[in-house]
Structure 1
């Protein structure tokens, strides 16, 4: 089957072995796959797939089930999306059946490809790890990103006022339209976030550059979840302030979590989050889709840091 890999910093379509569908797994004929910043790191050789995972790019996809292994309740022909450790940007993918989600009512397969990774990430880090309670205040760095867009909508749905840091006035307006209370532009007035502090929870994909500021902005018993290193891996912190505020700092990744952890996370997502799509309280934020032949342009767009929401690569347009 044809699949997309990152080889020596380049994107290459090529033949990849067709995996067998074993007990507890399903095979999905892929309609579309979502792009994520982790893909950029993998292409650059800086983020290898977890041991045993596919080297093919793609941490989420949508499509139609074409084969069901023993022990699964899914049926051939069902429209689904899936969270993956790799392999989504291919004609087919085989995945643990517990990591497969139904396509929400009223959502296209193209839109569904943009859901699993960002909603799983936002739900895990805000509501499971940070234990966000109704009414608590949230700060989302990179608020217009895919994860940020999902997080804003979840905060609005569950009664949590949130603020953002973003790269432009246009992106700030986008976040406010989604439900954010307001925010600042990172290149102009990041310290302006102090006007909205203290925050109970900060979700941060930036890391190093923002670390000292995050500590200042958090209130007593604040929770700070770091999910990325866009601003570097080194920082200086005032640990006296960390102790005085009783701040909890959590480093979090999703891709290398074990199969059971992901299964339980997605089961919780289906129970508590997926019904909100049918109610119209959550909406996929798909900015643009690209044909499979446009993969380089798609990743260049992602790397530009100008995307509001998500980008998706179309793998099989016949599936609709």
Structure 2
């Protein structure tokens, strides 16, 4: 079974490359565990197929060299077909997942972004609905990596006529958040206005917080405070941080700097440095206070 062993080793070695090509991911982005699983899985598949074929062909009384070559070829071809079939299952989601993880690594971020653009552009040509789903999935990782412009561009490019109701809600909520990173309050408001209200409660609470933030940024503190109302944020730390952000802007707009700073300190304790950075941009009444706290943190660090 020399040919079978050779085919198993060759296909096992090529399997990570094949998966990377099918998923639209550079091979270097695959984890060691993924490479090992791919190698072992493909090699074992070829060996099993080759073993079965060996006994079947030997029973046919063929010359030994034909049996050896036939089992190797059969194992290699069927192993390759099974590898391609396996790699193509959910290939876009797998590729997106790997690339989004790599976006968080600064040294490979440009390469990951180029690969992500290629993946999304291909899916947009092949399946518009799947493209929408992938863009919505990629928005969070893109913004976490600080790539707000890329996220905003993709969200803006989605066709409103193609979006389903739930997709429209998620897209416009995310787009409003992105627009705020560029201090475009009017664009953020337009994105929110496109959402049919009320929506499901888990999303509605965030929309209310976002609307209150827009009011606070415009200096309409009374309306912003009233809009927040008495929402329960006890079991939702992220929502509680958003409320603190809004209240900090409200207090700063009322010239109550001491209370605003206290709110910002609580925000920093609960959400870390990222919480204060959310106060700095978009620009609002509490932004200078947040900048002072960040500068103080840098100096003490």
Taking structure 1 as the reference length, the TM-score comes to: 0.28
